[in-house]
Structure 1
């Protein structure tokens, strides 16, 4: 299945240069508040369209790893997470920086990121072939059930409302229905516009949803400068801190396993992994009260978990064709524009490409550590770039990228309109991830359902003889029921909290 000579292509001088540029660019984007790893990959996908598929995916993997780790810089120096994956890093990194230990806080974060990425690499290398072999047993029944399970997971973890998560997923699935049906070529939801017969292009929708909505959300603060704490980071201090990690080996292993496990869950990713790992590290520590006051174990837990989740998120992408988080959703688009469908057959038909991705993942983690150690002052300087200069440049690149994919102005209008839609959704508290996953999975779910009904003689009885499909459907139902139950319990707990009526009202 694998020809290991293909690993030699990863270490070619040109690919190494692409990885250096990708990791460094990802670090810069990730370190700047508001510019997430998803946006970093979204900006790069149109550029990789004209590249060889190996080179394009090597660069995307490098950007992914760099941008996730880069978030720790602004988390430590500004108390603002550069990406959602670094939220928990702010809890202890910024207090350390405020008391004059910014260099030490960054050192803990950088080395923890490297260890999390390294453990995640081994998980990706070991689990992906096993899951890929298992997924070869999937048919239309299993794929439809998997799509339902994936959507149920995303809807269930919607921050505020299960109803809003369901509404977002429904809108996404309706968007997937635009154009000609793949089974009977019936035109749907085109409103007489010929350009919509082929459906909505995935990449303009993804770029618009995440780029425009983020820019519009930050427009109120576009003129506010960032205020940095003093930084005294040196390579000598970094290697001195790295030697002390033997004392934190349990925290590293536990946080890595949490990161990989959460990363594998479709659509969850590093945003949740760092919070869960932080809370577990705090619960296991003999001095939990020191967390939030500059405890290095909190930084280690958060940064190990969020970097470990990157490999976890790539496992379902490569083996099932289901993105593990919003960033791998963008990478799914990159596969598709190169004519490659990730999934169970990827290992068999494109084993060389999988090896290239694994090699790029390993090397990019090493480059991520080295570039942060020796060039972190460049990242710090990038934080001083005014947002009113940066955001128009990003918007221009998005427009160019959307047009370049198909040389179509229709894609530009799709990019703009879905970006505004995404902003309105976030403004009203509707999560974007269920919407985008509904768009990606909607067409697949429809096709597999219709095929399975035909195979079952015109009804759904065929599912009764498919244990894997039944397990997925049962897990989907349980996830929704458990989410409803946990939210009901949370409401009852809040209702039991006594209200102090003598307290003064606040406006």
Structure 2
């Protein structure tokens, strides 16, 4: 079957479709508001009339390219092109400000390639075994995972743990807007029917990260006019030496495993994976204070993990027919249209196409590496555009991206609301990252909490009598305690240094 699949993929037209898919995916991923999901939606009808292997190959290229493309705008514009690239902004943006945009992009590209490669090999060789693990997860386990993930807030709260917790709670509150997931009651809609579906993640990301910075730059517009420096570009290879890459092997492996594990669990997504990997890298680092100032450790953690989600999310899809996120749900539709029914017997019924997916993913990963490296100089040249010209263009892209989220003017106004909210948070030294974490994980936490309590008849014991749930809840408590102790120790050291 493998040789038969290889022969089908080796067709020049099939390789061309993979390449085109990767390029289009990168473009969609790099434009704020667009995403791999939107690319798949738009090109799915085109795949219907193609040969099954050609149609699947195109979708594979779009999916992989779309996830990786988000790092471009995350580094150059400080706007996550996709939700998966949220954590890439934290160090990618400062690296660009420090004249290291080329290196930041290069490190991100290499990390994306490695993370994708590890997850693809996991998909190829251990997918049936990993998929069985997900069958053990119920609502109780998913709630425990969500609580554990929320402990990231403590790690990314900056200097004030209280401010970080307040921002996280506000993010969770925002996630409650709309129709309740279990009983269907409208909450925090204020009579606005547009809020029945809640706030869109992309809209909040664009508002808090992009519009906030643009508004802030507008207050300093005199500086924008005077800026005329060219962005420095002096890059060999990918900007990271083999020695630097080897020194990051623990970070790479840990982040890949986090992305792979989170990708396997349906409904969590790449945004959580990148944030969790970033927090893990920061907590285990010898120099956590440097995170957020522009170091490659944060870039590697984010981009390795969010690309590792690709292979992870396809494991339950192929072995059990369960899509892990919206993108894989669309991909499932493409497989079904071509007569491929994912599940335990898929290797027997459609083995050549499944192996074809594996090979197409490997080829698409290589095409992504080559394409983004080839365009590196072009990407960096965007920084040569004077900010008083670039920022209005970015604002237009933000408005278009917000509108395309649901094709509503309401979302455009919402972007500006969150832009001014971001300004207010900065004025009070409240970090915006915990707000995003709380919003992303809030829905998952509430939904699984309520479902688990319904299953147990209202008894909270379900979270402590199930071993996996107990492990994650215990890990959450330990994580908060360790983070709190680190912050106390760091504050004491600062006080001692000041007194001396």
Q: TM-score, normalised by structure 1?
A: 0.67
Relative distance call for 1:491 and 1:347 in structure 2 (3 A) is farther
**How many angstroms does 1:136 deviate by?**
2.1
- Report if aligned partners of 1:213, 1:422 keep a CA contact under 8 Å in 2: yes
Bigger shift: residues 4-13 or 56-65: 4-13
**2:291 — aligned with what?**
none
Residue 223 (1) aligns with residue 225 (2): yes
Shift of 1:166: 1.8
- Give the SS at the match of 2:497: coil
State whether residues 22 and 368 of structure 2, in contact with CA within 8 Å, keep that contact through their aligned partners in structure 1: no
Which residue number in structure 2 is paired with residue 435 of structure 1?
Answer: 435
Paired residues of 2:273 and 2:305 also in contact (CA < 8 A): no
1:205 aligns with 2:204: yes
- Whether 2:23 is the aligned partner of 1:20: answer yes
Offset of 1:150 from its aligned partner? Answer: 0.9
State how far apart, in whole Å, the 2-side matches of 1:464 and 1:71 are: 40
Mark the runs of 5 or more structure 1 residues left unpaired by the alignment: 30-39, 75-81, 95-101, 281-297, 322-330, 341-345, 501-507
Structure 2's unaligned 5+ residue stretches are 46-55, 78-87, 263-271, 288-293, 318-323, 334-340
Deviations 1:125-146 (A, max 9, x none): 2456355431221111111111
Name the residue aligned to 1:408: 408
Task: Please say if residues 35 and 67 of structure 2, whose CA atoms lie closer than 8 Å, have aligned partners that are also in contact.
Answer: no
Q: Which residue number in structure 1 is paired with residue 52 of structure 2?
A: none
Other-structure match for 1:42: 33
Q: Given that residues 85 and 273 in structure 1 are in contact (C-alpha distance below 8 angstroms), is that contact kept between their aligned partners in structure 2?
A: no
User: 1:408 deviation in Å?
Assistant: 2.4
* 1:28-427 equivalences in 2 (<5 Å): 40-44=31-35, 48=39, 49-52=41-44, 58-59=61-62, 61-66=64-69, 68=71, 83-86=89-92, 110=106, 116-127=111-122, 129=127, 131-219=130-218, 220=220, 221-225=223-227, 227-228=229-230, 238=237, 245=242, 250-251=246-247, 253-254=249-250, 256-257=252-253, 259-260=255-256, 266-268=273-275, 307-312=303-308, 348=343, 362-363=362-363, 365-371=365-371, 374-427=374-427
Instruction: Give me the whole-angstrom Cα distance separating, in 1, the residues matched to 2:312 and 2:227.
Output: 40
Q: Partner of 1:290 in structure 2? A: none
After superposition, the Cα gap between the structure-2 partners of 1:211 and 1:87, relative to the gap in structure 1 and judged at 3 Å, is closer
Displacement of 1:411? 2.3
Q: Per the alignment, do residues 367 and 25 of structure 1 end up closer, same or farther by CA in structure 2, a change over 3 Å counting?
A: farther
Q: Distance in 1 between matches of 2:93 and 2:477?
A: 30
Aligned to 2:444: 444
Match of 2:290 in 1: none
1:278, 1:302 within 8 Å by CA — same for their partners in 2?
no
Label 1:490 to 1:306 Cα distance change in 2 as closer, same or farther (>3 A).
same
User: How much has 1:467 moved relative to structure 2?
Assistant: 0.9
Offset from partner CA, 1:441-464 (integer Å, 9 cap, x none): 323322222222222222212223
Q: Secondary structure at the match of 1:50?
A: helix
Residue 309 and residue 167 in structure 1: after superposition, are their counterparts in 2 closer, same or farther (change >3 A)? same
Partners of 1:47 and 1:479 lie apart in 2 by 36
Q: CA deviation at 1:373?
A: 5.5
| C-alpha distance 273-310 of structure 1, shift in aligned 2 (>3 A) | farther
8 Å Cα contact 2:154-2:164 kept in structure 1: yes
Check the 8 A contact 1:177/1:189 in 2, yes or no: yes
Contact 1:118–1:362 under 8 Å retained in 2: no
Task: Tell me what 2:473 maps to.
Answer: 473
Verify: 1:461 aligned to 2:461, yes or no.
yes
| 2:144–2:472 CA contact under 8 A, matched in 1 | yes
Following the alignment from structure 1 to structure 2, what is the Cα–Cα distance between the partners of residues 187 and 304?
Answer: 41
Query: Alpha carbons of 1:372 and 1:225: their partners in 2 closer, same or farther (altered >3 Å)?
Result: farther
8 Å contact 1:150–1:267 — kept in the other structure? no
> Would you say the 8 A contact 1:109–1:300 is kept in 2?
no
Asked if the contact 2:231–2:381 (Cα under 8 Å) also holds between the matched residues in 1, the reply is no
Aligned to 2:487: 487
